[in-house]
Amino acid sequence: MRILIAFDTHSYSSRIVSEVAKLAANTWADITMLAVQPAGSGNKTDATLAKALRQYRTDFIDQFDAGDQPYGGNISNEEFVQKNGAWELSKHSPALASRKELLLKIRVGDPAKEILAEAREHEADLIVLGCTKGLDSQWKGEVDLPQKIAKKAACSVVVIKEKKVPTTLTCCLDQTHVSQSSLEMINQIVTLYQAELKIVGLTDNKGTDGKAGVENSIAQILKYYAERQISAWIKLVRPEDLEEYVAEVSRENMVGLWMGKKSLLGKIFSPNLVGKLVNHSQSSVLILR
Amino acid sequence: MNMGLLALDENLASSIALRYASQLVNMLTLQLQAGHVEVPDKKQHSGGTGWVRRTWERGLQEAGQQAVQRLLNTEKVPCPFIGSPKVFIGDRDKEFLAELGSGRYDLFIEGNLNTSDINNFYELISSPLYTKTPCPIMVVKNLVSSDSVALLCGDGVDHQSVIPKALSLLKGDALHYDLIFYRYQETEATVSTNKDEAGTVLVEAEKLLQAANIKPANVQVVTGTPESVAAMLKKYCLVATSFPVRKTPRLELLAQCPSPILLCKNKARKSS
Does the pLDDT value for residue B271 go beyond 50?
no
Q: Are residues B50 and B172 located together in one domain of the fold?
A: no
**B107 contacts: CB under 8 Å, gap ≥ 6:** B2, B3, B4, B5, B30, B135, B136, B137, B138, B169
Q: Are residues A97 and A214 located together in one domain of the fold?
A: no
More confident residue, A98 or A284: A284
Q: Are residues B131 and B175 located together in one domain of the fold?
A: no
CATH code for position A73: 3.40.50.620
Interface subset of A 199-218, CB within 8 angstroms of B: 203, 212, 215-216, 218
d(CA B129, CA B98): 10
Q: Are residues A116 and A184 located together in one domain of the fold?
A: no
Q: Are residues B84 and B199 located together in one domain of the fold?
A: no
Q: Are residues B5 and B127 located together in one domain of the fold?
A: yes
CB contact under 8 A, A234 and B116: no
Q: Are residues A157 and A208 located together in one domain of the fold?
A: no
Q: Count interface pairs A-B at CB distance under 8 A.
A: 41
- Edge-to-edge strands, sheet with A81-83: A81-83, A86-90, A102-108, A30-37, A2-7, A126-131, A156-161, A285-288, A254-258, A168-172, A196-202, A232-237
The count of domains in chain A is: 2
Q: Are residues B129 and B164 located together in one domain of the fold?
A: no
Structural domain span for residue A188 = 168-288
Which of B12, B116, B117 is facing A219, going by the closest CB pair? B12
CB atoms within 10 A of CB A160: 27
- Tell me which of B105, B126, B142 is where a domain ends: B142
Q: Are residues B122 and B159 located together in one domain of the fold?
A: no
Q: Are residues A98 and A214 located together in one domain of the fold?
A: no
- Tell me which of A161, A195, A219 is where a domain ends: A161
Q: Could you tell me how many helices (H) and strands (E) chain A has, helices first?
A: 9, 12
**Average pLDDT rounded to a whole number, residues A253-273:** 74
Q: What integer pLDDT is reported at residue B56 of this predicted model?
A: 78
Q: What integer pLDDT is reported at residue B138 of this predicted model?
A: 98
CB atoms within 10 A of CB A248: 14
d(CA A199, CA B89): 34
Confirm or reject contact between B8 and chain A (CB < 8 A).
Answer: no
- Tell me which of B91, B123, B142 is where a domain ends: B142
Q: What integer pLDDT is reported at residue A203 of this predicted model?
A: 78
Does the pLDDT value for residue B13 go beyond 60?
yes
d(CA B139, CA B16): 11
Q: Are residues A118 and A235 located together in one domain of the fold?
A: no
Kindly indicate whether the ipTM for this predicted assembly is greater than 0.95, answering yes or no.
Answer: no
- Tell me which of B111, B142, B173 is where a domain ends: B142
CATH code for position B41: 3.40.50.620
**Residue B191 CB burial class (10 angstroms; 0-12, 13-18, ≥19):** middle
d(CA A220, CA B144): 18
pLDDT tens-place string over residues A44-89:
889 999 999 999 999 998 888 877 778 876 666 678 888 888 888 8
The count of domains in chain B is: 2
Q: Are residues A147 and A51 located together in one domain of the fold?
A: yes
Q: Are residues A14 and A69 located together in one domain of the fold?
A: yes
User: Which site among A197, A233, A249 would you substitute to test the B interface, given the most B Cβ atoms closer than 10 Å to its Cβ?
Assistant: A233
Does the pLDDT value for residue A96 go beyond 60?
no
Nearest to A150 by CA among A104, A119, A191: A119
Instruction: Supply the mean pLDDT for chain B.
Output: 89
Q: Are residues B215 and B240 located together in one domain of the fold?
A: yes
More confident residue, A58 or B56: A58
Strands A102-108 and A30-37: parallel
- Edge-to-edge strands, sheet with B107-111: B86-89, B30-38, B2-7, B107-111, B137-140, B261-264, B238-242, B148-153, B176-184, B218-224, B191-193
Q: Are residues A196 and A73 located together in one domain of the fold?
A: no
CB contact under 8 A, A236 and B258: no
Q: Are residues A134 and A254 located together in one domain of the fold?
A: no
CB contact under 8 A, A219 and B15: yes
Q: Are residues B129 and B156 located together in one domain of the fold?
A: no
- Tell me which of A161, A188, A214 is where a domain ends: A161
pLDDT tens-place string over residues B203-241:
999 999 999 999 999 999 999 999 999 999 999 999 999
Alpha helices in chain A (DSSP H): 11-27, 47-62, 111-121, 145-152, 180-193, 210-226, 242-249, 265-268, 271-280
Q: Are residues A8 and A138 located together in one domain of the fold?
A: yes
Percent of chain B at pLDDT exceeding 90? 62
CB contact under 8 A, A241 and B11: no
- Tell me which of A128, A146, A161 is where a domain ends: A161
pLDDT tens-place string over residues A123-177:
999 999 999 887 777 888 887 899 999 989 999 999 998 766 788 999 987 656 6
Structural domain span for residue B67 = 1-142
Q: What integer pLDDT is reported at residue A247 of this predicted model?
A: 85
Q: Are residues B107 and B46 located together in one domain of the fold?
A: yes
Nearest to B152 by CA among B182, B197, B129: B182
Q: Are residues B131 and B149 located together in one domain of the fold?
A: no
Report the chain A residue with the minimal C-alpha distance to residue B15.
A219
CB contact under 8 A, A233 and B13: no
Q: How far is B142 from chain A (nearest CA, A)?
A: 6
Q: Are residues A80 and A131 located together in one domain of the fold?
A: yes
Q: What integer pLDDT is reported at residue A179 of this predicted model?
A: 75
Q: Are residues B67 and B160 located together in one domain of the fold?
A: no
Q: Are residues A233 and A115 located together in one domain of the fold?
A: no
Q: Are residues B17 and B49 located together in one domain of the fold?
A: yes
